[in-house]
Amino acid sequence: MLSYTIRRLLGAIPTLLILIGVAFFLIRAAPGGPFDRERSLLPEIEANLNAAYHLDEPLYQQFGRYLWGLLHFDFGPSFQYRDYTVTELIVQGFPVSLTLGSIAIVVALLVGISAGSIAALKQNSRWDHGVMALSMTGISIPNFVMAPLLVLVFAVNLRWLPAGGLGDGSLRNLVLPVTALALPQIAYLARLTRGSMIEVLRSNFVRTARAQGLPTWQVIVRHALKPALLPVVSYLGPATAHVITGSVVIEQIFSRPGLGRFFVTGALNRDYTLVMGVVVFYGVLIIVFNFLVDLAYAWLDPKVRYR
Amino acid sequence: MSAAAATQAVPEVAGRSLWADAWRKLKGNRAAVVSAWIIGAMAILVVVGPWFAAYAFDFTDFANTSIAPSWSTGHFFGTDTLGRDIFVRTLIGGRISLMVGIVATAVSLLIGVTYGAVAGYFGGRVDTLMMRIVDILYALPFMFFVILLMVFFGRSIVLIFVAIGAINWLDMARIVRGQTLSLKHREFVEAAQAQGVEAAAIIRRHIVPNLLGVVAVYVTLTIPQVILVESFLSFLGLGVQEPMTSWGALVNDGSRELESAPWMLIFPATFLATTLFCFNFLGDGMRDALDPKDR
């Protein structure tokens, strides 16, 4: 197990370096610089600015400097928000995004797994068809379409819930964004759980347990649930990535001041370091999460050999 | 006895039973058939429709800005804040969305099939290395890279095709590789090898044609994903340039005018969701029909 962990950890390092490298050089290769204004600056001023931000150094040196900074959790200064460092902006925005994202994932897991299990246990019943039809709808309606529709119905027409913002920080403000963010994942998880649960329920060990006279619920909880949830565990990595990407638009629509909004505004303002910071931060988060999911999977599934 | 054998041997397509079988199964799946018809109708509507529409997609009707749908003004879906006809814009947006869906899928198909077939056919170290690269790329948050590309290199439609196609080939490569691994030890491949046919020709003439079933299913499932990515970009304001539009861009416009002009959101959103819905259903149906596990 330990050597497996170490090998997976070493495997994650090239991914991280590629992530940081691609983002870094892509941004440097882009036309237009952070100090481009309608009036061109005096050459001396520009040279001073470039020197202050180390933009005059050769690229490999800048890259090394950036990596070194990252190791110390220093994402560099923001080019647009002059008084802030990118680290400060991330520290400011991330809790807002984390609240939204983690609640959405938990909700998606709870609802998705229960709906999928119910559909599998009552296969080909009305419940099953209902869950499957709903989940197809959930998969087909993107969250950036669902979000404004939810606002239209529940905030504009019915006036039950606020349309956006943090408000007084109460849960009411989270209901719509969490729903919009979680729905596609609920739909996907329900399909996934149903599929694997049906397969597990047909397997020999479940038949044996039933034949021994165990009550149905005990068969499900003690024998079927764990193997049926293995695909769900391995989907957790992609699910996190989807939720993070989705949160970019959801935060925009519901005007929640999280990292996603920094990313979009930073991208439009050509704020190199901020955009880099968010990409690297989220990228590392996704990679670390994938790593943890892999470990959990190896621990849960007896069939995985630690090769 | 021989008479019974003769009637059994007659079935309509001899020798291509996989496709005949799949086709029969697909036709039996009502949801998939209806979806296919709707997709066809949608494609004809967005291609032909704008020529017959009363307004041009970029015509601004200043006398009728933000008006609700009505027959009398000729704006069946209403107009936006600049007085542009939502009906025509939805159709034109559909052209862009469907075109991106098809072209970007073709790009990902080209890369994915080539990559997967080469890795699978050559096997060994080449395969290990190529699949290791795919594994590494898998872990990267590609959506962010596409956004970066669009931001830094401008919003051109060609870039959209390439960027979206370039992020979607990984799954295709994996699936194709798996299939190729099982195909390459079949007799017809050995026969070709024995005759001294070059590797490239074997892949092109013997491997790829036999992958078509799997690829067809996957293409149907990739198109809605690609349309979704394009809409996502357009929603963020990074897609096609105004006054050109796409479903994502229209949904974005609509979501800004929710309270005053909900029709600006509802019509494009319905078109987008319907199309994605139908493609997903059709893809599911095709997978059921062509899945070798299920026979």
Q: Is B235 on the interface with A (CB under 8 A)?
A: yes
Chain A residue with Cα closest to B155: A268
Sorting pLDDT into bands at 50, 70 and 90, what band is A223?
confident
What does the pLDDT read at residue A38?
60
Taking CA–CA distances from A14, the nearest residue in chain B reads B136
- Mean pLDDT taken over chain A: 80
pLDDT of residue A110: 92
Which residue in A136, A149, A157 has the most chain B C-beta atoms within 10 A of its own C-beta, making it the best mutation to test that interface?
A: A149
pLDDT of residue A306: 52
Buried-state track B227-259, b at ≥16 Cβ within 10 A, e below 16: bbbbbbbbbbbbbbeeebbbbbbbbbbbbebbe
Rounded mean pLDDT of chain B? Answer: 80
CA distance B255 to chain A (A): 6
The shortest C-alpha distance from B52 to chain A (Å) reads 28
For the cut 70, the answer to whether the pLDDT of residue A37 exceeds it is no
Greater model confidence, A87 or B151: A87
With 0-12 CB in 10 A as exposed, 13-18 as middle and 19+ as buried, what is A149?
buried
Strand partners, A77: A85
Per-residue pLDDT for B280 more than 80? Answer: yes
- The band of B1, judged by pLDDT with boundaries at 50, 70 and 90, is very low
Higher pLDDT, A196 or B236: A196
Find the residue in B nearest to A146 (Cα).
B269
Checking if the pLDDT of B237 tops 80, the result is no
Nearest to B152 among A14, A26, A142 (CB): A26
Mutation target for A interface from B229, B235, B293: give the one with most A CBs within 10 A: B235
Locate the domains of chain B by residue range.
Answer: 39-56+63-294
User: How near does any CA of chain B get to the CA of A53, in Å?
Assistant: 20
For the segment A137-166, the average pLDDT, to the nearest whole number, is 80
Residue B11 reports pLDDT greater than 60? no
Residue A141's closest chain B neighbor by CA? B273
Task: State the DSSP string of B66-135.
Answer: TPPP-STTS-TT-B-TT--BHHHHHHHHHHHHHHHHHHHHHHHHHHHHHHHHHHHHH-HHHHHHHHHHHH
Beta carbons of A156 and B259 less than 8 Å apart: yes
CA atoms within 13 A on the CB side of A67: 15
* Per-residue pLDDT tens digits for B52-75: 777 777 777 777 776 777 767 667
pLDDT at residue B133 above 80?
yes
Report the CATH superfamily, name and number, of domain B39-56+63-294.
MetI-like (1.10.3720.10)
Q: Which of A22, A148, A249 lies nearest to residue B145, judging by beta carbons?
A: A22
Complex ipTM: 0.75
In angstroms, the separation between the Cα of residue A270 and the nearest Cα of chain B is: 8
As a whole number, mean pLDDT of residues A51-65 equals: 77
Lowest mean pLDDT segment, chosen from A38-52, A222-236, B5-19:
B5-19
Interchain contact, B147 vs A267, CB within 8 Å: yes
Residues of A in Cβ contact (< 8 Å) with B234: none
Interface contacts A/B by beta carbons within 8 Å: 113
Residue B272 at interface with chain A, using a CB cutoff of 8 Å? yes
Q: What is the pLDDT of residues A281-290, one digit of tens each?
A: 888 888 888 8
**Residues of chain B neighbouring A249 (CB-CB closer than 8 A):** 232, 235-236
**What three-state secondary structure class fits A82?**
coil
> If you average pLDDT over residues B89-98, what whole number do you get?
88
Query: With contacts defined as CB-CB under 8 Å, which chain A residues touch B272?
Result: 142, 145
Q: Are the CB atoms for B141 and A279 separated by under 8 Å?
A: yes
Q: Are B233 and B160 in contact (CB under 8 A)?
A: yes
Q: How far is CA A261 from the centre of its chain?
A: 14
- For the segment B119-132, the average pLDDT, to the nearest whole number, is 86
The pLDDT score that the predictor gives to residue A134 is: 86
Q: What is the mean pLDDT of residues B77-85?
A: 75
Say what percent of chain B tops pLDDT 90. 2
Residues of B in contact with A252 (CB under 8 A): 236
Sort out which chain B residues have CB atoms less than 8 A from A144's CB and list them.
231-232, 235, 248, 251-252, 255
Instruction: Report percent pLDDT > 70 for chain B.
Output: 88
Please check the confidence at residue A307 and state whether its pLDDT lies above 60.
Answer: no
**Which comes out higher in pLDDT, residue A298 or B268?**
B268
How sure is the predictor about A265, in pLDDT bands with cuts at 50, 70 and 90? confident
Q: Is B151 on the interface with A (CB under 8 A)?
A: yes
Query: Which residues in chain B are closer than 8 Å to A286, comparing Cβ atoms?
Result: 139, 141
